[in-house]
Structure 1
């Protein structure tokens, strides 16, 4: 009985020591944008395929599950941009971003994005693929490195992997067609 008690006491003490060691360790993983896909509407006046600010004041995004018999539900959000400064804001698709269901993997959906006033300007996003592998691992932290990040935009393949590994978001520009 005493031996069992000492074993549990030793196990508890070891756990607390390791936990205390990691509590003072801050993890700095430079992977903030790695699992996020960014889109931006072309709002630069005078450039080919530019939208006007009035056309971008309200954006609609729908998502539907990729798997036909999925238990995931379709969802729609409307983003109202109240000021001209918000017109150039990007749209970020990622786990827990844009749509409120944080635990759901965003790559299990296909998306449609369009300005509310231009329903014929639908941008279809599907075949989302984000793959990563552990990159820096120590006793307390694990950081990941993205090795593949791509999608199809209106049936055209788009590679979103940061070519310079600069830890900055890579934007997909949405142009009027």
Structure 2
């Protein structure tokens, strides 16, 4: 990735090397696969909005009906359960967590960069959520320093900038150790 010149200077990819050298396995993370082999979910046909369904992740808070459906479909398809959904997120006034429209799925262990196999499993879920965004009412997904959103679908997985709140070089701030999914309603 970076090269050392005859003068001993490091080449231009120093920033990227610094980011990826934070990873425990010292490898450049693989990007998302283009397709998923997971079965498509049943489409959410419910109505109503608002945080009114008890949060199944056990926070004592609530989630929207669409998020509750997404959680159930993720569990039925992959067996995965969210680590956390509802949260005050006082440090981020634009967060979807207090509105019950967001859940985080831990990939490996919180606070640690996951290895390649674990990252591949995370990408499998992320790509499935994107591929089924209409059926599940998914608005955006953040994982491994990248974001996909309905609004910018044509751009694919873009570099995540932290929304002006998070340090993307941090293992949790950059969503390296967990996958974030938000629904429209």
Give me the TM-score of the superposition, normalised by structure 2.
0.30
The structure in which a higher percent of residues are strand is 1
The structure in which a higher percent of residues are helix is 2
Answer 1 or 2: higher relative contact order, Cα 8 Å, separation at least 6. 1
